[in-house]
A and B are shown apart, each in its own frame.
Chain A
Amino acid sequence: MTGAATEHPARVLEAVFQAIAQGPLAGSSIQNPALAVQATGFRVHDGRWHGILITPWFMSLIVLPGEQDDWGEMSSGTGRTLALPTGEVAFMHAQAEGLGTYLTHSLFSPMHDFPHQDYALAMAEAVLAELYVPVSPPAQPSRAEAAADGSPPLSRRGFFKALLPPETPS
């Protein structure tokens, strides 16, 4: 899955990390049981998919390789700096089965400070707004995130509303 930046990556990302959550990390205390694996806010920037991956054990900014990239030989943990609309960001190469080599920048880990998925989503939304603000609005939210708990997608205006305690945990 290191191909073109045409296919929306949310589903593949979610599947790969869902398998980790239920496989090697099943029952592990590093997982916050209140959270779920969810890829959110993915948009194409410079020919690559950029977005945030929320999991019960970390939240990171993720960049998947575009057609111009050949990152296969990069070893895990080495750095690469990318220019985002609001400045340069230091990423790290990482490899996962079913995903190939991708870039990651840690935002939060572990995730026990987030009592509910909506808080994590609101935070992801806010971070993306800070990092990508000068770009024209991307085609989001993705179907994946809108479908997450049936709640309406978060707009900047609805952002603070989203911080109110949710009625039911998803």
Chain B
Amino acid sequence: MSDKNSGLIASLAHQGISRRTFMKYCATLASMMALPPSAGRAMAEAMAAARRPSVIWLPFQECTGCTESITRSHSPSLEGLIFDAISLDYQETLMAAAGHQAEEALEKAIEENKGKFVLIIDGSVATGLDGAYSCIAGRTNLELLKRVAPHAGAIVAMGSCAAFGGIPKANPNPTAAVAVTDIIKDKPVVNIPGCPPIPVVMTGVLAHYLTFGSLPELDKLGRPKAFYGETIHDRCYRRPFYDQGKFAKTFDDEGARKGWCLFELGCKGPVTYNACATVKWNGGTSWPVESGHGCLGCSEPDFWDGGGFYRALSMPADPLKMAATAAVVGTAAGVAATFANRAKKGAAKSAHETVTLADLEK
């Protein structure tokens, strides 16, 4: 889409964003990802390099909310501009080409960048009726994924649908929808769940790949640990009220007005791993819990079938039956080290909690 040889710095300057602002943004990004300070400069240099890597973005069973999140979160965002400065060779929603031209662009991008391009997928993969529920240019999503994925340098499953099957996979799953990782077994897939996911996570993963040529550290569900290492509950500003047993019972009672914990109103914060509580949304303006609504748990697998958004999480009646998870405690030293590191990493996050992209663009 954009000229591959145009420098990012020049492109940003054209948009009124100074080199200094860009450096600051990269430093913030590095800090959010718990990388050493030097990584910020490395990221800036890598992203400003002349040749931008090719990105192929395939939309499957999706609602385009993920694309909206990335490109229009608050306009113009630095994330959006960086996105524009990568060579987004195929993205049906954003590209000018259509029909045969578009499919030619896809094939050309695969051939020209074999083994190097970043493949982003949003939406789940329909497998029912051999995938016939969702087709692009006469090819099923399943076919397309199997055609493109083997040649990708890195694969990113963007949003809860691509990462975990999401809403298309919700009961009764009429299209037999599956996640990207259910199809692609032979190479790592970065899952960036969320409905939609937080834009800066996408930028962070891209920046990491551009800078170090590798993917950031992932958890057992394939999510970047830097952004999905803590629960919403752990970093929620309403958390002290939970600790003190102060819960809003309805959305308009005294507790709700005083900003008490929304656990009893169905908040899924305690079981949801995401960075909303620290990074926030819409340029750092707010996030669901701050707006008075419990977390839906949209970035967790099968969140839609979780039993109702307004039903309080059920707790195990007999905790001793949970003893299996005590195996985790069995490696307490390791777990403790993780928590200690997490605690320390939290500092980097919180230090930048109030530095929003809007601030950086001033």
Contacts and interface: CB of A to CB of B under 8 A. Distances in A.
Bin chain A's interface residue count: 35 or more
A131 interface: yes
B346 A89 contact: yes
Overall SS of chain A's interface: mixed
A119 B234 contact: no
Contacts of A114: 319, 326, 329
Contact of B347 (A55, A87, A107, A119): A87
A130 interface: yes
A77 B238 contact: yes
Contact of B319 (A106, A109, A115): A115
Contacts of B235: 106
A94 interface: yes
Interface stretch (B70-78, B105-113, B166-174, B241-249): B241-249
Contact of A81 (B237, B333, B347): B347
A35 B351 CA distance: 34
A10 B304 CA distance: 43
Contact of B245 (A25, A110, A129): A25
B237 A23 contact: no
B328 interface: yes
B314 interface: yes
B351 A113 contact: no
A87 B234 CA distance: 19
Chain B interface size range: 35 or more
Contacts of B245: 20-21, 23-25, 28, 57
Interface string B196-216: 000000000000000000000
Contacts of B349: 90
Contact of A77 (B234, B240, B329): B240
B322 A113 contact: yes
Interface stretch (A1-9, A120-128, A144-152): A120-128
A163 B323 CA distance: 12
A60 B329 contact: no
B322 A112 contact: yes
Contacts of B238: 77
18 contacts: A20-B245, A24-B245, A60-B243, A76-B259, A77-B237, A79-B353, A84-B344, A86-B344, A89-B343, A89-B344, A90-B349, A94-B239, A94-B240, A110-B315, A111-B319, A122-B332, A126-B337, A163-B332
Interface of A: 20-21, 23-25, 28-30, 32-34, 55, 57-58, 60-61, 76-79, 81, 84, 86-90, 92-96, 104-107, 109-115, 119, 122-123, 126-127, 129-131, 159, 163
